[in-house]
With several copies, the nearest count.
Chain A
Amino acid sequence: MEEGRSERTVPSRRWSDRKEKQMPRSEVDWPNEVTYLQILDADGKVDEDLEPDLPKETLIKLYKTMVLVREFDAARLRLQRQGEIGTFAPSTGQEAAQLGSICALKDSDWFVPSFRETAAQVWRGAKLENDLLYVAGFEEGMALPEDTRDLPISIPVGSQVPHAVGIAWASKMRDEDTVTMCYFGDGATSEGDFHEGLTFAGVFEVPVVFLNQNNHWAISVPRERQTASKTLAQKALAYGIPGVQVDGNDVLAVYAATKEAVDRARDGDGPTMIEALTYRMGIHTTADDPTKYREESEVEKWRERDPIDRMRVYLMDKGHMDEDDDEAWREEAKKEIKAAIERYRDNVPDDLGSMFEHTVAERDPYLERQRKELMDYWERAGVEVGH
Chain B
Amino acid sequence: MALELAEAEKGKTETVEMNVIEAINRAMDDEMLHDDTVLILGEDVGKDGGIFRVTDGLMDKYGKERVIDTPLAESGIAGTAIGLAVNGMRPIAEFQFSGFSYQAFHQFESHAARMRKRTQGGITLPLVMRMPYGAGVRALEHHSESRETYWIHTPGLKCVIPSSPRKAYWLLRASVRDPDPVMWMEPKYLYRRGKEEFEVGPDIGIDPLPGALIEQEGDDVTVVSYGASFQVAAKACETLEEEKGISVELIDIPVLSPYDSETVNKSVRKTGRCVVFHEAHRTLGMGAEIAARITEEEETLFRLEAPVVRVTAPDIIVPLLTREMAYLPDQGRLVEAVEKVMDYGS
Q: Do A and B bind each other?
A: yes
* Interface set of A (CB-CB < 8 Å, partner B): 86-87, 110, 134, 136-140, 142-146, 148, 151-152, 154-159, 161-171, 173-174, 187-188, 190-193, 195-197, 199-200, 203-204, 218-221, 225-227, 287-288, 292-293, 352, 354-362, 364-367, 370-371, 374, 377-378, 381, 383-387
Tell me the bound Cα distance from A227 to B72 in angstroms: 10
Q: Contact check, B65 vs A163: say whether CB atoms are below 8 A apart.
A: no
**Given that A225-B69, A367-B316 are known contacts, is A358 also in contact with B117, CB under 8 Å in the complex?**
yes
Q: Contact check, A292 vs B48: say whether CB atoms are below 8 A apart.
A: yes
Partner of A193, one of B48, B79, B122: B79
Tell me the bound Cα distance from A123 to B314 in angstroms: 38
**Given that A144-B119, A359-B117, A366-B261 are known contacts, is A169 also in contact with B83, CB under 8 Å in the complex?**
yes
The reply to whether the CB of B81 lies closer than 8 angstroms to some CB of chain A is yes
Centre residue among B261, B315, B320 by max chain A CB count within 10 A? B320
Bitwise interface map of B from 68 to 90 toward A, beta carbon under 8 Å scored 1, else 0 = 11111111101111111111110
5 A-B pairs (CB sep. < 8 Å) = A193-B107, A218-B43, A218-B72, A221-B44, A386-B321
Q: Contact check, A219 vs B326: say whether CB atoms are below 8 A apart.
A: no
Q: Contact check, A220 vs B44: say whether CB atoms are below 8 A apart.
A: yes
Q: Contact check, B322 vs A136: say whether CB atoms are below 8 A apart.
A: yes
Q: Contact check, A200 vs B70: say whether CB atoms are below 8 A apart.
A: yes
Q: Contact check, B86 vs A151: say whether CB atoms are below 8 A apart.
A: yes
Partner of A367, one of B65, B180, B258: B258
Q: Measured between C-beta atoms, what is the minimum distance from B157 to chain A in Å?
A: 8
Instruction: Give the chain B neighbours of A197 by CB distance below 8 A.
Output: 76, 79-80
Counting from the closest, the 3 A-B pairs by CB-CB distance are A166-B83, A162-B79, A196-B76
Instruction: Give the chain A neighbours of B88 by CB distance below 8 A.
Output: 170, 174
Q: Which segment, of B22-30, B136-144, B221-229, B269-277, faces chain A?
A: B136-144
Q: Contact check, B322 vs A138: say whether CB atoms are below 8 A apart.
A: yes
Q: Which segment, of B98-106, B189-197, B199-207, B240-248, faces chain A?
A: B98-106
**Given that A146-B122, A292-B47, A378-B326 are known contacts, is A371 also in contact with B314, CB under 8 Å in the complex?**
yes
Partner of A359, one of B65, B76, B80, B155: B155
Instruction: Give the chain A neighbours of B307 by CB distance below 8 A.
Output: none
Interface size on B, residues (CB 8 A): 86
Tell me the bound Cα distance from A222 to B35 in angstroms: 30
Tell me the bound Cα distance from A124 to B334 in angstroms: 47
The reply to whether the CB of B158 lies closer than 8 angstroms to some CB of chain A is yes
Q: Contact check, B332 vs A377: say whether CB atoms are below 8 A apart.
A: yes
* Interface set of B (CB-CB < 8 Å, partner A): 1, 39, 43-44, 46-49, 51, 65, 68-76, 78-89, 91, 99-100, 103, 106-107, 110-111, 115-124, 138-143, 155-156, 158, 178-180, 258-262, 282-283, 293, 314-317, 319-327, 330, 332-333, 336
Q: Contact check, A137 vs B69: say whether CB atoms are below 8 A apart.
A: no
Instruction: Give the chain A neighbours of B321 by CB distance below 8 A.
Output: 86, 136-137, 386
Tell me the bound Cα distance from A387 to B323 in angstroms: 8
Partner of B120, one of A110, A139, A163: A139
Tell me the bound Cα distance from A78 to B314 in angstroms: 34
Instruction: Give the chain A neighbours of B156 by CB distance below 8 A.
Output: 359-360
Q: Contact check, A173 vs B71: say whether CB atoms are below 8 A apart.
A: no
**Given that A361-B124, A366-B259, A385-B326 are known contacts, is A156 also in contact with B320, CB under 8 Å in the complex?**
no
Q: Contact check, B326 vs A383: say whether CB atoms are below 8 A apart.
A: yes
Q: Contact check, B111 vs A358: say whether CB atoms are below 8 A apart.
A: no
Q: Measured between C-beta atoms, what is the minimum distance from A63 to chain B in Å?
A: 31
Instruction: Give the chain B neighbours of A169 by CB distance below 8 A.
Output: 80, 83-84, 87
Q: Contact check, B120 vs A355: say whether CB atoms are below 8 A apart.
A: no
Q: Contact check, A167 vs B119: say whether CB atoms are below 8 A apart.
A: no
Partner of B83, one of A136, A137, A164, A384: A164
Q: Measured between C-beta atoms, what is the minimum distance from B67 to chain A in Å?
A: 12
Q: Measured between C-beta atoms, what is the minimum distance from B59 to chain A in Å?
A: 10
Q: Contact check, B83 vs A355: say whether CB atoms are below 8 A apart.
A: no
Instruction: Give the chain B neighbours of A293 by CB distance below 8 A.
Output: 47-48
Centre residue among B72, B99, B142 by max chain A CB count within 10 A? B72
Q: Measured between C-beta atoms, what is the minimum distance from A320 to chain B in Å?
A: 37
Instruction: Give the chain A neighbours of B155 by CB distance below 8 A.
Output: 359
Tell me the bound Cα distance from A221 to B59 in angstroms: 14
Q: Measured between C-beta atoms, what is the minimum distance from A121 to chain B in Å?
A: 14
Tell me the bound Cα distance from A191 to B65 in angstroms: 22
Tell me the bound Cα distance from A163 to B327 in angstroms: 30
**Given that A159-B111, A165-B80, A221-B69 are known contacts, is A193 also in contact with B75, CB under 8 Å in the complex?**
yes
**Given that A148-B123, A359-B117 are known contacts, is A166 also in contact with B103, CB under 8 Å in the complex?**
no
Q: Contact check, A145 vs B122: say whether CB atoms are below 8 A apart.
A: yes
Centre residue among A134, A166, A292, A378 by max chain B CB count within 10 A? A166
Instruction: Give the chain B neighbours of A168 by CB distance below 8 A.
Output: 83
Instruction: Give the chain A neighbours of B143 by CB distance below 8 A.
Output: 155
Q: Contact check, B87 vs A162: say whether CB atoms are below 8 A apart.
A: no
Tell me the bound Cα distance from A386 to B136 in angstroms: 11
Partner of A165, one of B74, B79, B100, B323: B79
Tell me the bound Cα distance from A193 to B74 in angstroms: 10
Closest to A386 in B: B322
Tell me the bound Cα distance from A359 to B142 in angstroms: 15
Partner of A144, one of B75, B80, B84, B123: B123
Tell me the bound Cα distance from A130 to B126 in angstroms: 26
Centre residue among B1, B158, B322 by max chain A CB count within 10 A? B322
Q: Measured between C-beta atoms, what is the minimum distance from A88 to chain B in Å?
A: 9
Q: Measured between C-beta atoms, what is the minimum distance from A244 to chain B in Å?
A: 23
Closest to A182 in B: B83
Q: Contact check, B120 vs A87: say whether CB atoms are below 8 A apart.
A: no
Other A-B pairs beyond A86-B139, A155-B140, 6, CB < 8 Å: A162-B82, A163-B86, A169-B80, A187-B71, A292-B48, A352-B323
Q: Contact check, B83 vs A170: say whether CB atoms are below 8 A apart.
A: yes
Partner of A152, one of B106, B119, B322: B119
Q: Contact check, A167 vs B83: say whether CB atoms are below 8 A apart.
A: yes
Instruction: Give the chain A neighbours of B117 by CB distance below 8 A.
Output: 139, 358-359
Q: Contact check, B73 vs A360: say whether CB atoms are below 8 A apart.
A: no
Partner of A173, one of B78, B89, B100, B140: B89
Instruction: Give the chain B neighbours of A359 by CB distance below 8 A.
Output: 116-117, 155-156, 315-317
